[in-house]
Amino acid sequence: MGEEHLLTGNEAVAWAVARAGAEVVAAYPITPQTSVIETLASLVQKGISRAEYVPVESEHSALAACIGAAQAGARAFTATSGQGLALMHELIHWTAGARLPVVLAAVNRALAPGWNIWADQNDTLSQRDTGWVQIYCENAQDVFDSTIQAFALAPRLSLPVMVVLDAFFLSHTAEPVSVADAGELAGLIRPWEAPWRIDLDRPKAVGSLVAPAEYESMRNQLAKAHEAALGEIADLADHWRRRFGRGVGLLDRYRCEDADEILVASGTAASTAREAVDELRARGRRAGLVRVRTFRPFPAAALREVLTPARRVAVLDRNCSYGASGIFCQEVRAALCGVRGAPPVHGFIAGMGGRDITPRTVEAALAAAEVGDPRPEGTWLRE
């Protein structure tokens, strides 16, 4: 059986990368991600990870190195945050378009200016449309499990997977984590054998010009791979629950069965919301919580199923699509659009740039949803 370790979220990433048998690690330091790769460097040095650790001169190069490694069939990993992720953007698209099974840990960091090293989700949500799978984690155990699962999912789907965790609330907060050992994970992560893997015995060119019709066909297959990913993620979560007795797949439902009002949140804010829901329940309100764990592919069907019976939905976003609303809010509204009897969806934006989200913030959101009509642009909660 695995051992219990006291690990921060970042350390949990590093241990999972080592346990998953990553073969190439290329990364460039940036707060708050740095301790991921520092821990990994140390695990490589101690021989706990057998990865080839490639120091590079920028995040763009880090992902480029992972792309090359993955194209040749190596299990590749990188980690970054905020500006670093923004710098990777071109190759973020490339990784998915080339259908390469790279795993990336993104520690959410607010984008400059002004300079800010604390948590919000605009950096990873800016990568929403690139074709990556995105998994948003709630706690350190979730981080460990999600990272291992990312390595398992990526080669099955030929899709890159981004494991997302909040700066400091999660990246730098230590919790007990059950670290599975190699024996427990045996057989879970399969080798990647796609026909476009570079193979010296079967030389080929990859990434060259394609005509419009073929391009469209390839992008259509990328979209279909995401549809297939919904099932794979759910199946893997079932398998994980059977083996380890924990974890969720697409959504985490909490006290939703008879709920009138359901809060939708992601990341560590979901833990805070859980406390608030318990308090509200104690006061007799029928509150519930849905944590969106898998954001891409977006679990629209599962959300419809859990949210439709409620009387109202409040979405808490630690991000903003300026000129529209919170991004999770848009997605939830889109999922419920056209569903007969669907509840109104109220959007709330809070905790930008690492500002604390407290149980009071959550209560304020539900209270505002009770009295007002939903506003298209959402409501900023700033006490």
Partner 1 sequence: MRRLPDGRVQFEGPGEVPPVSMSLSSTTWNRTGDWRSREPVFRDLTPPCADACPAGQDVVDQVRLLSQGRVREAGEVVLSANPFPATTGRVCPHPCTSACNRGRMEGPVDIPGVERALGDLILAEGVEPARSPATGARVAVVGAGPAGLTAAHYLGLGGCEVTLFDRGDRPGGLLSRGIPPFRLPRSVVDAEVERALKPGVRFAGGRSLGRNLDVDELVREFDSVLLAIGRHLPRRLGVPGEVANGVVDGLDLLSAQGLGDVPKGRRAVVVGGGNTAIDCARSLRRAGFEVTVAYRRGRGDMPAFADEVEEALEEGVAIEDWLLPAEVRVMDGSACGLRCVRARPGAPDPSGRPRPVPVPGTGLTLPADLVVAAAGEELDALGLPAGWVEGGRVVLPPELAGRVAAIGDCAGAAGTVAHAIGEGRRAAAALACRLGAAAPSEDLLSERGAEPEVAGFDRVRTAWHRPAMPSARGREDAHLRRADEREVRRGFARDEAMREASRCLACGTCAGCELCYQLCPDRAVVRGAPGAYGVDPSRCKGCGVCVEECPRGAISLRERGGT
Residues that bind partner 1 (CB under 8 A): 97-99, 158, 194-196, 204-210, 213-214, 217-218, 221-222, 225
Q: Residue 217 CB, nearest distance to partner 1 (Å)?
A: 4
Closest separation between CB of residue 51 and partner 1, Å?
25
CB of 220 to partner 1, least distance (A): 8
Question: In the complex, what is the shortest distance from the CB of residue 133 to partner 1, in angstroms, rounded to a whole number?
Answer: 15
Of 16 and 159, CB closest to partner 1: 159
Q: Give phi and psi for 285, each to the nearest 5.
A: -85, 145
Q: Could you give the CA distance from residue 208 to residue 222 in angstroms, rounded to a whole number?
A: 17
Q: Which is nearer to partner 1, 98 or 310 (CB)?
A: 98
Min dist CB 225 to partner 1, Å, is 7
Whose Cβ is closer to partner 1: residue 30's or residue 98's?
98
CB of 221 to partner 1, least distance (A): 4
Q: Which of 188, 85, 191 is nearest to 145 (CA)?
A: 188
Q: Which is nearer to partner 1, 215 or 380 (CB)?
A: 215
Which residues 6+ apart lie within 8 Å of 165 measured at CB? Answer: 9, 10, 13, 105, 106, 107, 108, 136, 137, 143, 171, 267
Is 297 or 351 the residue whose CB approaches partner 1 more closely? Answer: 297
Closer to partner 1 by Cβ: residue 2 or 97: 97
List own/partner pairs for 307-310 with CB under 8 A and 24 or more apart: 307/262, 307/264, 307/332, 307/335, 307/336, 307/342, 307/343, 308/336, 308/339, 308/341, 308/342, 308/343, 309/259, 310/256, 310/259, 310/260, 310/261, 310/262, 310/343
CA separation for the pair 361, 96 (Å, rounded): 37
